[in-house]
Amino acid sequence: MRRMVCAAVVWVAVCLGIWAGAAPAKMELAGAWQVKVTCGEQTAVLVVDPPDMVTVVDEAYERLALFQGPEWRRGTPLLGPKAEACSVAGALDPATLVVRAGPGATAQLFERGKDYQLEPRWAGFGRLEGGAIAADRPVYASYRYAMMRLDSVVLKADGSLAVRKGVPHVATPRQPEIGDGETRVGNVWLAGRVERLTDDHLFPILEHAYPEPKSAPPGASAAERYLPKTLAKLRAGQPVRILAWGDSVTECVYLPFQQKWQEQFATRLRARFPDASIVMLSEGWGGRTTTAFRKEPPGSPRNYAEKVLALKPDLIVSEFINDAYMNEAAVLENYGAILKDFQRIGAEWVILTPHYARPDWMGLTREREIDNDPRPYVRGLRLFAENNSVALADASLRWGRLWRQGVPYSTLLVNAINHPDERGMALFADALMALFQD
């Protein structure tokens, strides 16, 4: 018995990398729904359940919007695969959608392409002009869609390997709870309606946390170098006014107040400097850019001079994923003008690099091996900050390494596009607090 317990400890130690030179678990395909896992000298072929399909019957819609709008929100989103603001791409089985005038199989059947149309990938459907669906007419939809799931491969206390099934969710599946004595060595991501597993669904755990930078020598932290006035006030226990300026991720109407990135940051900063009086102000504008703010006329609720500059905060933290259309040259020009404005009002500045958005919006084809953010905008921010001695909280680096922790980054996006959940917001706070690391 004692020998068996010792053997189990050996396997756990090897797979956790406790011993020098130990490798993480290796995961490879062994079939459509089978994964071969090697952990130390232990190897097993594990069976993964296919995605969970949900059947919806006679789902009522009081009225149906016209089939128009952007691809990701065209017409009315089907409620089953709907995340925050829109439906999840690829979740719907489009061949299964049936739309009727009432519940039951005998109700009038509407014709796709004549009475209504469907955006098959994004699961939005809408009525067509001239069709049989009036603007105020209720409709009933029946269809099937897939939920996402994140299953975990675990090393059990007896040294054997097993799969622990995650809880299905339409957009943000989380790792399942594991038992006492079990160690998570990898995850299998079922990204909605998939026909079989591929290498892109396998996420062996390569690291357990973001590798935080080493502590800076005395007087050499990022805050010492780039935020000396703000840091001096924090240390002296004086009032400090911080403005969070950004787009929908800063406005963040979709999460509770305390889960917003700026509030998580403020909470941690107050704990770090308990004698200081920290006031966190926010100015977020969904779907907009720094340029949009700067172009708003006087008297506008979003006028840049009145809603940003006039506040004269000690510190401004900017977050604009919507600026990601900019190339390096545009960043240097636009952000250079903003820097002059901030210097004029005596405010220090921290630029947050953006989180990762859905892969196809970033030119990515997978969610593994993506440490380096491919967006010219992010390269431009890093170059601008370096050239102008502006503090940079590089949250993008943290998002780019989530795959190493066994987490597909899009499982942190509540709208399956670009709105982080509270875990994603915490990564911003992590990046900001790293600036104040001694």
DSSP state of 112: B
Please identify which residue in the block is written with the tokens 């001695």. 389
* Amino acid letter, residue 277: S
Please identify which residue in the block is written with the tokens 């006492």. 180
Please identify which residue in the block is written with the tokens 């594991």. 178
Please identify which residue in the block is written with the tokens 């399909």. 53
Torsion of CA 154, 156, 161, 162, to 10 degrees: -60
Going by C-alpha positions, the residue among 209, 198, 155, 151 that lies closest to residue 25 is: 155
Going by C-alpha positions, the residue among 203, 272, 261 that lies closest to residue 237 is: 272
Using CA atoms, how far apart are residues 329 and 337, in angstroms rounded to an integer?
Answer: 13
Going by C-alpha positions, the residue among 40, 30, 41 that lies closest to residue 188 is: 30
Q: 40: alpha, beta or left, given left = phi > 0 and alpha = psi -120 to 50? A: left
Tokens of 102: 């009432």
Mean pLDDT by 10 residues, the chain (438 residues): 40 43 84 96 96 97 96 95 91 97 97 98 97 97 97 96 97 95 96 94 96 78 96 97 98 96 98 97 97 97 97 98 97 98 98 97 96 98 98 98 98 96 98 93
Going by C-alpha positions, the residue among 324, 238, 325, 313 that lies closest to residue 283 is: 313
Q: Hey, is 271 helix, strand or coil?
A: helix
| Domains of the chain: residue spans and CATH | 2-50+148-204 (no CATH), 54-146 (no CATH), 222-434 (3.40.50.1110)
Using CA atoms, how far apart are residues 406 and 150, in angstroms rounded to an integer?
Answer: 10
Tokens of 330: 């545009």
- Are the beta carbons of 151 and 187 closer than 8 angstroms? yes
Q: What is the pLDDT at residue 48?
A: 98
Q: What is the pLDDT at residue 13?
A: 45
Q: Kindly report the pTM of this predicted structure.
A: 0.92
Q: Hey, is 290 helix, strand or coil?
A: helix
Helix (H) or strand (E) holding 383: helix 376-388
**Residue 161: strand pairing partners:** 155
Q: What is the pLDDT at residue 330?
A: 97
